[in-house]
Amino acid sequence: MGKRIKRLIFRILKLYVILYKNLTMTKVLSISEFRSNLAVELEHLGNDKRNQIIIKRPKGKSNIVVLSQEAYNAIEETLYLLSSKKNREHILKGIKELNSGKGKKIKIEDIWK
């Protein structure tokens, strides 16, 4: 995957995070905290009270992210949609149109009429 595509994917994922920031919650735990509350934390993930947990690890080791299936599926779908050059261009064109005020508000049920 080229640098340009990676930057584009990063921008789209960043946009995804901004859009869903208020709908999701992230909790940061140490390994010990996560281990001692494993069942409760996983229950929160499964019940959509929280979409991800960041597990802090000691210096020199990267952190671990535990995601809900819903959050993982959303990321996978985003990557899939961006994997096609034509689709990527179409999405970027739509974003530019929205940013320039050319967007139009419609009801979702009107899409299939």
- pLDDT tens across the length of the chain (113 residues): 567 776 677 677 666 665 555 455 788 899 999 999 999 988 888 886 567 889 999 999 999 999 888 888 888 888 888 889 898 888 888 888 888 888 777 787 877 77
Which strand (E) or helix (H) includes residue 54? strand 52-56
Instruction: Report how far residue 27's alpha carbon sits from residue 15's, in angstroms, rounded to the nearest whole number.
Output: 20
β-pairing verdict for 26-30 and 52-56: parallel
Backbone phi, psi, residue 48, to 5°: 60, 20
Residue 72: exposure state from Cβ atoms within 10 A (0-12, 13-18, ≥19): middle
Instruction: Report how far residue 27's alpha carbon sits from residue 79's, in angstroms, rounded to the nearest whole number.
Output: 24
Q: What is the CATH number of domain 25-84?
A: 3.40.1620.10
Give the start-to-end residue ranges of the domains of the chain.
25-84
pTM over 0.85: no
- What the block records as the tokens of 59 is 């210096």
